Amino acid sequence: MTAKLQLIGIKKRLRGRQVLDGVDLDVAPGRSLVVIGGSGQGKSVTLKCALGLMKPDAGQVLVDGADVTRMPQEIRARVMRKFGMLFQGAALFDSLPVWENIAFRLIYADHVKRADARERAIEAMRKVRLAPEFADVRPVELSGGMQKRAGLARAIIAKPDILFFDEPTTGLDPITADAINDLIVEMVKELNCAAVSITHDMASARKIADEIAMLHNGKIVWRGPAATIDASGNAMVDQFIAGRAEGPIQAVV
Amino acid sequence: MINPFAPIGRGLLEVLAEIGRFAAFAGRAAGSCFSPPLFAGQFGRQAMQIGYFSLPVIGLTAVFIGAALALNIYVGGARFNAESFVPNIVVLGITRELGPVLAGLMLAGRVSAGIAAEIGTMRVTEQIDAMTTLSTDPFRFLIAPRVLAATLTLPLLVMVADIIGVMGGYLVAVHSLGFNGATYLRNTFDFLESQDVILGLVKAAVFGFIIATVGAYQGYNSQGGALGVGRAATNAVVGAIVLILAVNYVLTAFFVE
């Protein structure tokens, strides 16, 4: 199947350090790829390069086969409409009520009437099991789990082709984290979109991934079906999923 | 062997690079004010926040400065029997210099720091990245409304400051220094020329642009959590004040010539 999103040889140097050193990734429609790796290994930078929030020093990001890294800003903005993103801290806009956060793209980019946008926002809230009575409150009044739900509703409202998740379960209790994982799986299936997640939560990775890739020292060191990760045969993957300090990966303390 | 001039050169290059980055940012911010989509609701909110809610601080500053100016000119003028020039010099000083500069400095503290802190917090909490992923240009949605609101409302604030400042001088002159009220006002209006007011308003518009742009620049480029946001707010105030004072001299010299 043709890849919806493809990263080819992505390199990025930040503050004198080679964060990404030739990352190759691809994900097909309806498939969910999870990138795991320790802190500071370049997971977030990979996501930012894929999203166009950061320009890679070398390599290509292909969306439906078109290289978006060298596109003019205006055309790139159109490609951005294919993306939905759930940020680690949800990144909801403090100054707007929850419904307007969710409907932001509809109102300000797609110029949908406010009344229609509100209706669609409330429909999206129902989908992520966020009660509509929270539509008019400010994000700061929501719990961490509810903020993630609102962030997910915002990511899916425009029915994106590619969904990105940045540490979707960080900071949540295990039960809420599992509920968010279930929602992610459900939304990816419902939209039949390609999904790319980054996490170091193995429970989350096992639940939401069709495939898992491990990033270490700016390179993909292993990639395979999620079901085979326990038999990867890669010492770094084994150390990471077992959560051991001893092994080829040096713990950063 | 270490070249003793190397650190100076490095520092100079860094300053020049920073000036270049700020100039590019200011150019993009100015361009965003004139390219669609224009977010009218955002502009309205910012005009209220920057303009209307700054009225009390601008009014209080102006009345006290006008009053103090009248007293100082009276004392100074008495040394060569020129006390009668109080209304003329008060109105000249307020409209050409003190009105725009003090309004600019007060807003540099109130508005520039506020913009830097707000946009800086949005930057470090990834709200600006989120906006980009939602197909909305942060320059058009966040920065252009603030720059436009500050550039357009500061001249209005300065007009109010001019009137209140002259009234401050009038109150002191009439009630403390024994001036005749009608004569004071007649001297004020007879002496005032339209170019004095125009110079003040041009300065105000430029200062408004500086205040919003410096605040937005510092906030947009902030990093490092709460510490970075605090640093951005401080740098915004200091940067805006220094730029206002420097540009004030350039504009005054330009108009005098």
**A78 contact partners, CB below 8 Å, separation of at least 6:** B135
Pick from B121, B130, B135: which is nearest to A81 by CB?
B135
**Separation in Å, CA B252 to CA B42, B100, B156, B247, B256:** 33, 12, 20, 8, 6
Q: Which residues pair with B209 in a beta bridge?
A: none
What is the interface size between A and B, counted as CB pairs within 8 Å? 55
**Chain A residues within an 8 Å CB radius of B141:** 108
> How many Å apart are CA A156 and CA A235, to the nearest integer?
37
Whether residue A92 is contained in a domain is answered as: no
> What pLDDT score was predicted for residue B45?
95
Contact with chain A for residue B223, Cβ under 8 A: no
- CA B52 to chain CA mean position, Å: 15
The chain A residue lying nearest B128, using CA atoms, is A91
The chain A residue lying nearest B125, using CA atoms, is A91
C-beta atoms of A80 and B135 within 8 A: yes
Q: Are B136 and B209 spatial neighbours (Cβ–Cβ below 8 Å)?
A: no
Q: For the purposes of burial, counting CB atoms within 10 Å of the CB of A169, is it exposed (0-12), middle (13-18) or buried (19 or more)?
A: buried
Q: Are A200 and A36 spatial neighbours (Cβ–Cβ below 8 Å)?
A: yes
Q: Coil, helix or strand for A98?
A: helix
- ipTM for the whole complex: 0.89
**Chain B residues within an 8 Å CB radius of A157:** none
Whether residue A21 is contained in a domain is answered as: yes
Using the predicted structure, report yes or no on whether residue A11 has a pLDDT greater than 80. Answer: yes
Q: What is the pLDDT along chain B (257 residues), one digit of tens a residue?
A: 678 888 889 999 999 999 999 999 999 999 999 988 889 999 999 999 999 999 999 999 999 999 999 999 999 988 988 888 999 999 999 999 999 999 999 999 999 999 999 999 999 999 999 999 999 999 999 999 999 999 999 999 999 999 999 999 999 999 999 999 999 999 999 999 999 999 999 999 999 999 999 999 999 999 888 999 999 999 999 999 999 999 999 999 998 87
- Sheet of A194-199, strands arranged across: A83-86, A162-166, A194-199, A32-36, A211-216, A219-225
Q: Are B110 and B57 spatial neighbours (Cβ–Cβ below 8 Å)?
A: yes
**Sheet strands (E) in B89-210:** none
Q: What is the mean pLDDT of residues A61-86?
A: 87
pLDDT band of residue A73 (cuts 50, 70, 90) is confident
C-beta atoms of A108 and B125 within 8 A: no
Whether residue A114 is contained in a domain is answered as: no
Q: Check which CATH number belongs to the domain holding A241 and give it.
A: 3.40.50.300
Contact with chain B for residue A92, Cβ under 8 A: yes
C-beta atoms of A93 and B130 within 8 A: yes
Whether residue A107 is contained in a domain is answered as: no
Q: For the purposes of burial, counting CB atoms within 10 Å of the CB of A217, is it exposed (0-12), middle (13-18) or buried (19 or more)?
A: middle
Contact with chain A for residue B36, Cβ under 8 A: no
> What pLDDT score was predicted for residue B38?
85
Whether residue A8 is contained in a domain is answered as: yes
> What pLDDT score was predicted for residue A106?
95
C-beta atoms of A108 and B136 within 8 A: yes
pLDDT band of residue A185 (cuts 50, 70, 90) is very high
| DSSP one-letter code for B54 | G
Contact with chain B for residue A105, Cβ under 8 A: yes
**Chain B residues within an 8 Å CB radius of A84:** 133
Q: Give the CA angle between residues A98, A103, A169 to the nearest 5°.
A: 60
C-beta atoms of B133 and A84 within 8 A: yes
Whether residue A32 is contained in a domain is answered as: yes
C-beta atoms of B133 and A93 within 8 A: no
Q: Please count the structural domains in chain A.
A: 1
| Min Cα–Cα distance to chain A from B39, Å | 8
| Min Cα–Cα distance to chain B from A101, Å | 10
**Chain B residues within an 8 Å CB radius of A105:** 134-136
Of B205, B79, B112, B117, the closest CA to residue B154 belongs to B205
> What pLDDT score was predicted for residue B1?
63
The chain B residue lying nearest A158, using CA atoms, is B134
C-beta atoms of B129 and A91 within 8 A: yes
**Separation in Å, CA B191 to CA A137, A227, B114, B162:** 56, 87, 38, 15
Domain that includes residue A241, residue range: 1-82+162-168+193-253
Q: Could you say which residues from 92 to 121 on chain B have a Cβ atom under 8 Å away from some Cβ of chain A?
A: 121
Quote the tokens at residue B204.
């105000």
Quote the tokens at residue B147.
């720059």
Whether residue A227 is contained in a domain is answered as: yes
